[in-house]
Every structure is written in structure tokens, then in C-alpha cells.
Amino acid sequence: MKKYILLSIMTAALPLVFVGCATKAHYIQTGGRESLVTVNSINIQDFIQAANDATSDLLASGVLDKVANPPAVLAISRIVNNTGQQIDTDLLTKKIRVALLNSGKAQTTTTMGLGGTAEDPMAKGLQQEAEFKSDQKATRTPDFTLSGKIIQTIAKDGNTSQSTFSFQLSLTDAKNGLAVWEGEKEITKQGGRPSVGF
């Protein structure tokens, strides 16, 4: 009798086990609790968190308010990727730029870039044309440059692996080359390698 009951429960549960594994494609909130977390790579929620911390810290410092003609003008310098992952550093810098622009405290130049490369070549061309026609320099020199580094530190113990991602940022005064604000956000993730995989 017991065998029959057990058998019927198992038979009923078996399809549930297989059906339960299949996830139907659905939308989730970007960076929300349902976002996938992987130990060895930077997830979107990590970029959001690092950008939020940097922006909050920078705004709270009051450094951007000390320029002669507010809002401050920023130029994006090099963000070095020292992780084992290929990443587009704009995932970090763009969020900071948007947040700073929305705060009203800073604007970013798109006509000046690292090695003379403009982010927006058309805007640079139009700017140069305007300068040529009016015979006046219209370009506003950036007050600050933003540079940084993303570093990954890996640790392993048995089946447990750990990654720490350090987001280091520096805001340098373009006039004297001194770092007037520096921020570092560390995000550590730990996880075990599954012993049984499908």
C-alpha cells in the first residue's frame, strides 16, 4: 500500500521537477534582486552600485562647486581595465556622467578625448568651424579630468571562489594636475562551484 502511495507521489512530482527547471523569458528590473550574480565577472548591478557610490561621494565632497564658472566641465580620461573580463568602461563612466549632468553640477565635453580623439567628431568639426568663422576660441577647457582603474582580485578555497572588483576613480584638476577627489568602491562576490551540473 505504502509502495503505491509513494509511487503515485513520485510520478506526480516527476513532471514538476523537469517543468520547474525551464524558465520562461521575462523582463526583470535592471540591477534588481532577480539579476544574475556571477562571481568571476562584473554584473550590471555592480556597475550601477559603483557609479552610484562614486557620484554620491563626488557630489557630497563639494569639489565640483569650487570652479569659477559653474557647472564644472569634465573630460573623460583613461579607465584601465585590469580584470580578466573584457568590459566597456562606458558602463561605468556613462552612468556617472548622466548622474552628474542631472545634478546640475558638471557637464562632460564630447569634443575632447584621450589622444586627441573626440567622442563626437561631428561636434568637434562644427566647433572648429565656428571658431574659424568667428576667429575666437569657443572651446571651454575642462576643469577636471576623470580617470580610473578597475581591478579584480581572485581568491579560491576548495569549491568556494571569491572575486573582489575594485572601482578606483580620480578627479584631477586640469590646471595643476592634482587629484582633488578620489574614490574607491569594492564589491566582493563569493560562490561555490556546483558539484552537480545539468
Binding site for another protein (CB under 8 A): 29, 31-33, 45, 48-49, 51-52, 55-57, 59-62, 64-65, 95-96, 98-99, 102-105
Closest distance to another protein from the beta carbon of 167 (Å):
12
* Lookup result for grid cell 559603483: 50
Closest distance to another protein from the beta carbon of 70 (Å):
10
Amino acid at 194: P
Q: Is 196 exposed, middle or buried (0-12, 13-18, 19+ CB in 10 A)?
A: exposed
Closest distance to another protein from the beta carbon of 128 (Å):
31
Kindly tell me which of 46 and 112 has the beta carbon lying closer to another protein: 46
Kindly tell me which of 48 and 174 has the beta carbon lying closer to another protein: 48
Kindly tell me which of 124 and 167 has the beta carbon lying closer to another protein: 167
Closest distance to another protein from the beta carbon of 185 (Å):
11
Kindly tell me which of 64 and 112 has the beta carbon lying closer to another protein: 64
Q: How far is CA 187 from the centre of its chain?
A: 12
Closest distance to another protein from the beta carbon of 132 (Å):
36
Q: Is 47 helix (H, G, I), strand (E, B) or coil?
A: helix
Contact 71, 64 (CB under 8 A): yes
Kindly tell me which of 48 and 118 has the beta carbon lying closer to another protein: 48
Contact 80, 106 (CB under 8 A): no
Q: Which of 134, 139, 140, 149 is nearest to 179 (CA)?
A: 149
End-to-end CA distance of the chain: 34
